[in-house]
Amino acid sequence: MDMEEYLSISGIQHFCFCPRQWALIHLEQQWSENIRTTEGHLEHRRAHESELKEKRDNLLTVRGLRVVSYRLRLSGVCDVVEFSTDPHGITLQNQPGLWKPFPVEYKHGSTKEIDADRVQLCAQAMALEEMLVCDVPQGALFYETTRRREIVDMTMELRQKTLRLAEQMNQYFIRGYTPKVRPGKHCNACSLKEVCLPKLCQKVDSVGYVQSHIGEEVSTL
């Protein structure tokens, strides 16, 4: 696979959330907008609207930085990478001194238990490490709803999970494989629910499926 054919680094977030969602988007080219995806697109656009580079004192902010990881076979764009001066940092073209990179990914909503956002950020950090030949021990997720940052440590466990998901994602892409999964509560927040669920319902017992969803609806009243 050539570098130009590498999968989107942002797709690993979809894959971590639901491999079937990822396949419907990236293999079958199906997409459905809902309020979450629309707001998310607007927030990413705002993150990239400002100048590509901005320097204030000891902080250099770069927006829309393209990255690639040959190990993960992923490429894409970082919302923001903050470079701060550091005696153990790296050199940057046309910038005096030494700098340490810190990726920041903008997200809608608030922090989540699932690692989908963290895995995407970790993939960006691993790509930066390959490109800049340095360590990226931390990054941040900025959530628009709470207007707060979540600092993410790039632990060995998170790195291994990111590598494992990237390998599986690439294998699915090569095979053209769309996995089948059982519906769950997480499906309610999926922008592809209307596309995905009718196909899945053909594979599961219709009576059990209806009963389970009626039970969920009654329990929430």
Q: What is the average per-residue pLDDT within 9-33? A: 88
Strands 148-153 and 138-143: antiparallel
Whole-number Å distance between alpha carbons of 34 and 195: 12
Q: What is the average per-residue pLDDT within 9-15? A: 95
Whole-number Å distance between alpha carbons of 131 and 148: 28
pLDDT of residue 185: 80
Q: What is the average per-residue pLDDT within 68-87? A: 96
Chain-centroid distance, C-alpha 131: 19
Q: What is the average per-residue pLDDT within 40-62? A: 69
Whole-number Å distance between alpha carbons of 138 and 154: 6
Q: Which two tokens stand for residue 157?
A: 């466990």
The closest alpha carbon to 138, from 176, 102, 91, belongs to 102
Residue 125 has what DSSP assignment? H
- Looking at domain 3-179, its CATH architecture is Alpha-Beta Complex (3.90)
For helices 19-26 and 193-201, angle between their N-to-C axes, nearest 10 degrees: 110
pLDDT digits (tens, 9 = 90+) for 164-195: 999 999 999 999 999 987 788 878 778 787 77
pLDDT of residue 2: 57
Q: Which two tokens stand for residue 68?
A: 């690639």
pLDDT of residue 85: 97
Whole-number Å distance between alpha carbons of 221 and 217: 7
Where do we find the tokens 């590598």?
163
Where do we find the tokens 């998170």?
158
**Structural contact between residues 17 and 116, judged by C-beta atoms closer than 8 angstroms:** yes
Under the banding of pLDDT at 50, 70 and 90, the label for residue 32 is low
Q: In this predicted structure, which of 41-45, 74-78, 149-153, 206-210 has the lowest mean pLDDT?
A: 206-210
Q: What is the average per-residue pLDDT within 3-25? A: 90
Q: What is the average per-residue pLDDT within 117-141? A: 98
Mean per-residue pLDDT over the chain, rounded: 83
Residue ranges covered by each domain of the chain: 3-179, 181-221
Which residues does 200 contact at the CB level (< 8 Å), separation at least 6?
A: 180, 181, 182, 183
